[in-house]
Structure 1
Amino acid sequence: MKFNFIHIACVMLGVGALVSSCSKPLKSQKTGMAYNDKNNGGYMRFRQVHPAPGPGLIPIEGGTFVLGGSADQDVTYDYNNTRTRVTVASFYMDETEVSNQDWLDYLHWISITFPDDRELYYNATPDTLVWRRPLSYNDPYVDNYLRHPAFQDYPVVGVTWEQAQEYCIWRTDRMNENILRERGQLANWKDFSGNGKAGANQTAAGANASTQPFNTDIYLNGQIKGQGIDGKKMLTDLNPNAKSATGATTGKAGRPTRTVRLEDGILKSGYRLPTEAEWEYAALGLAGNTEFENINAGKVYPWNGMGVRSPQRKTRGMILANFKRGKGDNMGVGGYLNDKADITAPVRAYQPNDFGLYNMAGNVNEWTQDTYRQMSFEDVEDFNPFRGNEYANKRLADPAKGLYAKDKYGRPIKDPAKSNRKLKWGEFTAQQQGSTTGSANGNAPNATAAPGTQTAAANPSIAGKPYDPDFRGYVDSVNTSLYGTTTLVNNHSKVYKGGSWNDQAFWLNPATRRFLSQDDASAEIGFRCAMNMVGAPEIHPSGKPHFSVKKPKEFKAK
């Protein structure tokens, strides 16, 4: 049974993000006060939405499954996928792997936004030398694979885990910026670019909000606004204090306006790498074998059956994924290339699994967010299992105004968190008084590190050591010399899964797992992005039973 998900999404237009009614305005269930009324203080209630996924994503309805359960053998004798029942929350995942064209878009943005920053461009460029082999003539791929248009729809490779993290941040900001410009909450693309003229705001020549690139966190903190930045369809600010606010922008009839907030439900959650559990759950696609909460049949691969060939009449015998059938056999016999690929294949090659995801087996291995440990499945939580939490706080440049400190790329500077709880006000202010003070516009004067490095260095002026979420002692603070020497495993070892064009069929099983240092790259490893889902976890509620929900009684003052 093919399981097709139809994601029901509510789209908000203009100030329609605010719930309003011509006849009966919504009222608080606890105080009786009307919402969205400028005369009573402007208490706001926003339309409750289940937002659509970001570009390129497919909704994955979560549920329970056996992590590591699809592995039927352990030919490597690693014993690193002990079966554990867990629950994965609903989330979004890229339909395909990130392609060469997607990465070239990223490089192009860097080249036009920071034309003089050669270091940034160099650090973002994949390592095309991963194609070199001492005894193979792979040199043509070094020059052609990333940039030649013949390979534009092929998965990007030679990308480290760290580079994938940076791409996720960049993709998030470009998506949200595009949403705001097309909706009119920021200056539209034509006005922003000066009608396409050279020397307009596309380059980050200065250090103020009008020239620094858009960043979602900085925007939501109210640090990207003002003349020449605001769009023509700014949202109305119902706060009575907004009328006298210094520098407040005004819309039609002099009404004060505001930037978009998280509560509006307009901006989307950030892109990220999927966790190992999310990746394995999505690759299996057991939703296609499920009826009334009963799984009719398990899977060894992302498709049904024990074999790797198609049983369908028109494609009978064809290989279902791009992998290496045996030593010296990467694509079959000339005249009838069975899997149609010598190295990688286009990201939409072969058939998608029951979630609609392409190439969850073969083509390229894919980075996950998790830090590798051999016994991870025995140690992790049973809900949204993940290993690799590194908590961080955004540094404040001006605690009195709540302004974030920014690096030279317009992104918030993050310091390792000192606590796993909300600090008391006295503790918070004492900590902020010891932090580095930036300039008036929220820039940290010493923030020159390239993206990807701002979370690595702690702020020495804040007392206390960083908060360590590893409660059970897996970080050996006594003898760290063995990590990376005798075990080859440390906190920089990241999990990758899925099998590649150069792997044999065993690695196509979603439960198999390997690791590589986060700063290493390979011609066999690429990635795809994921995104958190907010709200109800059910993706396709139609045709299923539900309990009725009564509306609250309306309060009427006597």
Structure 2
Amino acid sequence: MKKLLIFIALGSLLYSCGSKDKGELVGVKGKKWYPEKPYGMTLIPGGSFIMGKSDDDFAQVKNAPTKTVTVRSFYMDETEITNSEYRQFVEWVKDSIVRTKLAIFADELGEVPGNGGIGEFAFKDADTTNLSEYDKYMLDNYAGLGETGYEGRALNKEIDLEWNTSDYPDAYYSEIMDSMYIPLEESYNGVRTIDVKKLQFQYSWMDIQAAARAKKGNRKDFVRTEKIEIYPDTTVWIKDFAYSYNEPMHNDYFWHDAFSDYPVVGINWKQAKAFCNWRTKYKNDDQKRRKRHNVNQFRLPTEAEWEYAARGGLESATYPWGGPYILNDRGCFLANFKPQRGDYAADQALYTVEAKSYEPNDYNLYNMAGNVSEWTNSSFDPNSYEYVSTMNPNAYDDSNRRKVIRGGSWKDVAYFLQVSTRDYEYQDSARSYIGFRTVQDYLGTDAVSTK
């Protein structure tokens, strides 16, 4: 016992001698945090505003009574997510699935890098000579846990994939690539395309709301796993409009470069959530390589955040530009919508327009009215304004499949463009007139609006 006391005292003495805090309570010092504005986003300073319809509710819906609420600061995409940006997500998923299939096949065949062919795409831990002690530990103790038995093993992304059939390195590679395409009997005109049903993105998240309210349960009980087909439903251009010829939009809108900067549509609510999760992972993977702090998650805005941002700091305005008029002083329309019955093109656009069109509002946000309606993270309840909190209000109910959409679209009349108008769609539905934009929480409390 005496030796133990001497050891503790000696340890305390050594620690005190090496300490730089002089025995004061200075707190744990971490890396200096410098807020970084996310690419393509703008900062929306937190503040209070009157949410709901402050002018006449001509439709007599009565689901948006006025209520003063306060929201915290957040970043928001300046534009709707474009076809080009969503294609980056699709390409990443496609690339990852092919590499995973190649790595698993190489493992089953016992092929390793250096032998050429499919072995070059083996898991990075296939050659154990260059593994760190940590990687060896993780491989020995955690590899094999999961649905496929290959979870947790790193893919080799240093070797480029070959998509030209004449450049396939061996028959095994050809077999894997062939499995990604539609069957020959489903192709026509000699063209085989990727089977988009195989483009699935799997991710996990923790249901913090449920965990916080639960009286008991382990952490793992609140971890949710989602597996989502992420390719847009291009058939919406036909299904949304009976007795109408819209095949060119079905054929070209998502993938053709002519529409790269147009808002992506045909995305349901779950796919939009999956995109947010991927965007967070994609950014944090890069942050890890640079040895920087992880960023906050990208997510869909709440209904209150969306309305606050759409108003652009203007109190009780009808539209993002103020209002109540939809024409400027030169007689030009201020948004992309359906100005007159049967006349979609009076505003110089038949369908959607490029995401950075018309003038932005005072928060530098484009098309917060018109172009495409936008998914929010809030569930739709016509009475929710009566009971939601006045601080960061959000009516989220996982069992309610109706999700709020805001902003109106290219096929809507002006009423739906008003910043206070509420609408909804079912979470598993995709439409030719619904897109989305993402937000990210601001770390800190400096950015507060005094308007």
Q: TM-score, normalised by structure 2?
A: 0.65
Mapping 1:269-418, distance limit 5 Å: 269-286=296-313, 289=314, 298-311=316-329, 316-332=330-346, 339-388=347-396
Q: Which of the residues 441, 445, 448 maps onto 1:536?
A: 445
Whole-angstrom distance in 2 between the partners of 1:85 and 1:34: 40
Q: Which of the residues 21, 29, 32 maps onto 2:24?
A: 32
Deviation at 1:46, TM superposition (A): 3.6
Whole-angstrom distance in 2 between the partners of 1:341 and 1:66: 32
The alignment partner of 1:491 has SS state of coil
Deviation at 1:309, TM superposition (A): 1.1
Indicate the residue corresponding to 2:199 in structure 1. 121
1:109 paired to 2:136: no
1:90 paired to 2:108: no
Deviation at 1:44, TM superposition (A): 3.1
Indicate the residue corresponding to 2:272 in structure 1. 164
Output one character per residue of 1:267-293: Cα deviation in whole Å (capped at 9) or x when no partner. 21010000000000000112xx5xxxx
Aligned partner letter, 1:515: Y
Indicate the residue corresponding to 1:415 in structure 2. none
Deviation at 1:33, TM superposition (A): 5.9
Aligned partner letter, 2:342: G
Q: Which of the residues 230, 237, 250 maps onto 1:131?
A: 237
Indicate the residue corresponding to 2:40 in structure 1. 56
Indicate the residue corresponding to 2:29 in structure 1. 44
Output one character per residue of 1:99-125: Cα deviation in whole Å (capped at 9) or x when no partner. 000111011001111125764516111
Whole-angstrom distance in 2 between the partners of 1:389 and 1:537: 31
Aligned partner letter, 1:502: K
Deviation at 1:499, TM superposition (A): 0.5
Give yes or no for contact 1:80–1:375 (8 Å, CA) kept in 2. Answer: yes
Give yes or no for contact 2:47–2:448 (8 Å, CA) kept in 1. Answer: no
Indicate the residue corresponding to 1:16 in structure 2. none
Whole-angstrom distance in 2 between the partners of 1:64 and 1:167: 29
Mapping 1:418-429, distance limit 5 Å: none
The 3 A distance-change label for structure 1 pair 508 and 108 is same
Give yes or no for contact 1:161–1:518 (8 Å, CA) kept in 2. Answer: yes
Give yes or no for contact 1:50–1:535 (8 Å, CA) kept in 2. Answer: no
Deviation at 1:175, TM superposition (A): 1.1
Output one character per residue of 1:33-66: Cα deviation in whole Å (capped at 9) or x when no partner. 677xxxxxxx53442x351232221100111111
The alignment partner of 1:114 has SS state of helix
Deviation at 1:381, TM superposition (A): 0.5
1:493 paired to 2:402: yes
1:502 paired to 2:411: yes
Give yes or no for contact 1:54–1:268 (8 Å, CA) kept in 2. Answer: no
Aligned partner letter, 2:415: F
Indicate the residue corresponding to 1:81 in structure 2. 64
Give yes or no for contact 2:276–2:438 (8 Å, CA) kept in 1. Answer: yes
1:176 paired to 2:284: yes
Identity of aligned residues (%): 40
Whole-angstrom distance in 2 between the partners of 1:71 and 1:177: 47
Indicate the residue corresponding to 2:49 in structure 1. 65
Give yes or no for contact 1:331–1:340 (8 Å, CA) kept in 2. Answer: yes
Output one character per residue of 1:217-242: Cα deviation in whole Å (capped at 9) or x when no partner. xxxxxxxxxxxxxxxxxxxxxxxxxx
Whole-angstrom distance in 2 between the partners of 1:113 and 1:375: 44
Whole-angstrom distance in 2 between the partners of 1:70 and 1:93: 25
Deviation at 1:179, TM superposition (A): 2.8
Whole-angstrom distance in 2 between the partners of 1:129 and 1:493: 22
Output one character per residue of 1:133-154: Cα deviation in whole Å (capped at 9) or x when no partner. 2211001111101011111100
Whole-angstrom distance in 2 between the partners of 1:170 and 1:180: 15
Give yes or no for contact 2:47–2:449 (8 Å, CA) kept in 1. Answer: no
Aligned partner letter, 1:367: W
Whole-angstrom distance in 1 between the partners of 2:449 and 2:47: 14
Give yes or no for contact 1:65–1:86 (8 Å, CA) kept in 2. Answer: yes
Question: For structure 2, which runs of at least 5 residues remain unmatched after alignment?
Answer: 1-18, 102-179, 181-194, 201-228
Whole-angstrom distance in 2 between the partners of 1:525 and 1:26: 57
Give yes or no for contact 1:70–1:509 (8 Å, CA) kept in 2. Answer: no
Indicate the residue corresponding to 2:138 in structure 1. none
Output one character per residue of 1:345-383: Cα deviation in whole Å (capped at 9) or x when no partner. 000000000000000000000000001101010010010
Give yes or no for contact 1:366–1:528 (8 Å, CA) kept in 2. Answer: yes
Give yes or no for contact 2:401–2:426 (8 Å, CA) kept in 1. Answer: yes
The 3 A distance-change label for structure 1 pair 281 and 113 is same
Give yes or no for contact 2:53–2:421 (8 Å, CA) kept in 1. Answer: no
Aligned partner letter, 2:361: N
Whole-angstrom distance in 1 between the partners of 2:21 and 2:268: 51
Aligned partner letter, 1:499: G
> Over aligned residues, Cα RMSD in angstroms?
2.3
Output one character per residue of 1:410-448: Cα deviation in whole Å (capped at 9) or x when no partner. xxxxxxxxxxxxxxxxxxxxxxxxxxxxxxxxxxxxxxx
Indicate the residue corresponding to 1:515 in structure 2. 424
Whole-angstrom distance in 1 between the partners of 2:350 and 2:429: 24
Count of matched residue pairs: 308
Aligned partner letter, 2:321: W
Mapping 1:249-268, distance limit 5 Å: 266-268=293-295
Whole-angstrom distance in 2 between the partners of 1:166 and 1:26: 46
Deviation at 1:540, TM superposition (A): 8.2
1:148 paired to 2:156: no
Give yes or no for contact 1:276–1:495 (8 Å, CA) kept in 2. Answer: yes
Aligned partner letter, 2:82: S
Give yes or no for contact 2:76–2:438 (8 Å, CA) kept in 1. Answer: yes
